[in-house]
Amino acid sequence: MINLLYSVYLDDQYRIRLPRELCRQMGLEPGRELSLRSSSKGVFLSNPNPYCAICGTRQGLRPFGRRFLCTACIRWIQETSLKGKKAPSSQKG
Ligand SMILES: [Zn+2]
C-alpha cells in the first residue's frame, strides 16, 4: 500500500470520517473493529488482525456479519445448535 496522508476532521461528537478510498484499500466495512493507539508521536489507527469471535483463533476465518468465525466454530454452530455441546477451546495466537 502506498503511504498517503489524509486530512480528517472531528465532528461535534468527536467522530472522524475515514476516506472511502482508504476504507476500500484496507478492506474496512462499517462496524469493523479498529485499533487506535496514542503515543508521543500522535494517534495511529490500525486494522487489527481479525480473530474468531467465539474462540479467538486467527486461522481459517470466514467473515460473519461484521466479525469473523473460524471454520471449527462454524461447524460447531451447525452441528450443535440443537444439542448444547461445549464450544471449541480457545486457540488465540
Ligand atoms: Zn472459532
So where are the chain's domains?
Answer: 1-47, 49-93
Nearest to 70 by CA among 89, 85, 56: 56
**How far apart are the CA of 50 and the centre of ligand 1, in A?**
11
Classify burial at 51, counting beta carbons within 10 Å of its beta carbon; exposed 0-12, middle 13-18, buried 19 or more: buried
| Distance (Å, whole) CA 90 – CA 58 | 10
Task: Give the per-residue pLDDT at 5.
Answer: 86
- If you measure from the C-alpha of residue 85 to the centroid of ligand 1, how many angstroms do you get, rounded to a whole number? 14
> How far is ligand 1, taken at its centre, from the CA of residue 17, in Å?
31
What CATH number belongs to 1-47?
Answer: 2.10.260.10
Q: What is the DSSP letter of 30?
A: T
| Per-residue pLDDT tens listing for the chain (93 residues) | 567 788 999 999 999 999 998 888 777 888 878 888 899 999 888 877 788 999 999 999 998 887 889 999 999 999 987 676 666 766 554
